[in-house]
Structure formats: C-alpha cells, structure tokens
Amino acid sequence: MLNGLRSFAAVTALGMSVGLAGIAQASDTTVALVPGGPHPYFAAWEQGGADAVKEFGLQSADYKVPQKWELAQQNQLLESLLSQGYNGFVIFPGDPVGSVSTAEELTSNDATVIAAGGCFKDPSSAAFCLGTDTGNSAYIGTKELARIMGPGKKRILHLTGFLVDPNTQLRIDAVKKAAEETGNEVVQVIADIDAPEPAEEKINAYLAAHASEVDGVIATAWVPSVVAANALRKIGDKRIKMVGIDHDQVVLQAIKDGFVDGTMLQNPYGQAYVGSYAVNKLRSGCTIKADAPFKTNALTSKFIDSGTAFIDASQVDSYVNSMRDETKKLLESFDATYLSCN
C-alpha cells in the first residue's frame, strides 16, 4: 500500500496540477486540509494543496491529519488551527452531524469552510460539499461487476468502510440496488473494515469459510480493496470476480495480473486542489450563485461531484490521466457554474 502512495506522490510531483488559471496574485489565504483521521485515501490532498498554492497564489494550503480517527481529535485540531491563523478549511467531517457545530465555530470566526470527501449534514455553515458521488460510484461499480460476472443470479460479497463515515450507508444502499436491478444477490456486507487489522481478520476469515459461495466481490473502501485483492491472489483460481475502489498499487497490480477486474477511481487530488481554489475565491469576495446547480444527496443539498471513473486492465497504466482529466473538467467550469464574482 505504501508503494502505491509513493507512486502516486511521484506522479503528482512531476506536474499533475492542471494549471488552467496560471499564477495568481498572492493572497493571504491560509488553507488547512483536514481529513477525519489517518487514511491513505487522503494522501493526495497534500499534493493537491501544494499545487493550489503554486497555481493560485495562496499563502499556504497545508495537510493536517488528526492522530486518531476520533471526532474529538479532529475538533481539537481544527480549533487549534483556527487559533494559529488558518482562515480557510477543507474538511472531511469526522461525523456528518457532530462536526456541524465545529464548522459553525470556524465560520463565526471569519473562516471559510468547505466539506470534501464527505459532507456535513444540512444545515451547516459549509459553503458546499465537494466529493465523490459515492452512491453513484458504488452503483456503477456493482453494475460493472454484474457485467463481468455474466448472466444468471450471482452471489456478491460487499466490503466497505467505517460506519461513522457518512459515505458508507450510501454505498451499502447503492450496491444493494444495483445487485437487485441486475438479478444478483448481496449475500454478505462486511463493514467497519477500512483499517488493516479488521480488514485482514474479517475478509480472510469470511473467504476461508465461504469462498465457494461467492461469485463476485465489490469493495467500496480503500483498505478492503487492498486486502481483498491480496486474498483473491492467494486463492488463485480467478473464478471470483472483483471490482475495487481507488488507486492503491496492490489493486492496480492485481488488475494487471487478472486477479481483480477493475476499480472505481475517486479524485482526492481534485478535492484538495479545487477546494483550496474555491476557498480562496470565496475569501476574495466571490459568493455562491443563488442558482448554482448543486446536486442533492442524503446529507446535503449543496453537493458537487469531484468525479469518478471505472478502469480495467486496458486503462490501468494511465489512471493518473483520468484523475487529472476529472480535475481539469471541474475547474474549467467552476467559476461560471458556481460563483458570482464582482
């Protein structure tokens, strides 16, 4: 997994920034990019923030991670960063409801807040939520898995993330819907495993006892994708089909070797890059358009999709281009679509 992160960081360092706006006038915007806790998904936020500083003239856009995935830890970190002078925040809420009061505290002290990766539950003081349409991603991934498994009623194992993650229930519902629409059955959902120890324990135990009863695996969180890819490689017969999520090197290599059939890319880089850009624009006098065409999900009516794409063995070597293209597409139309600037 670490090799995958290093590979992605190396690519972004070589110039993944989309560079549409050129070098902007220097601003006093200091952005803190704060996930809910340590997790490999957010590693690309650091490079996205660094590129935003370079491209848009921000004073800083710093990646700050709570020591543990606990709401109290994130809230304490956010309050500390506010006291240090940060005036813009791109936040993955540690809890969609429990984080709302902290967002209100930040904005009441003249900071601009954007949710990224996951949303605050309405009403909140966040300008909007920029993230993967996780339900749609899980739905598309399950439809792709059904296509790969072929006709007939197939049995699907769904591996997913933390139950405190606001995206997890959206994914569970979407996978179930897509399975039912394609005449398949979700025989088991294993959740709360987006960390190495529980993922290793629960996935390997389930497959040891029930591999013969499973035709396909859909993994909708990073660590379960990695662990399941390794588990299917050990089984070795390639009968069980799998669609994962994200771009860990283990998953990408398993796609190349035929043990995994594809993965649903997200765009964490773009969340940090465009999120930092938007914070600066809002602090510079722009406002959200009254008729901005936000999407609505289960948590908020102010949602912007940061992009998703399915890739298989034919596209695995160019996955970074897919992320770059999603970011470029979003930024090209962002001002005209969402902002009113005098």
Q: Is 228 helix (H, G, I), strand (E, B) or coil?
A: helix
Going from N- to C-terminal start, the domains of the chain cover 2-132+267-309, 136-265
pLDDT in tens, 259-269: 999 999 999 99
Phi, psi of 284 (to 5 degrees): -95, 10
Selection from 46, 105, 72, 4 nearest residue 269 by Cα: 46
The average pLDDT across 229-258 equals: 96
CATH of domain 136-265: 3.40.50.2300
Domain 2-132+267-309, CATH among 1.10.10.10, 3.30.450.20, 3.40.50.2300, 3.40.50.150? 3.40.50.2300
Mean pLDDT, rounded, for 78-84: 98
Residue 22 scores a pLDDT above 50: no
Q: Is the pLDDT of residue 20 over 70?
A: no
| 243 and 144 Cβ atoms separated by less than 8 Å | yes
Q: Is the pLDDT of residue 13 over 90?
A: no
Question: Using 50, 70 and 90 to split pLDDT, how confident is the model at 319?
Answer: confident
- For the entire predicted model, the pTM comes to 0.84
State residue 177 phi and psi, 5-degree precision.
-60, -50
Mean per-residue pLDDT, 41-64:
96
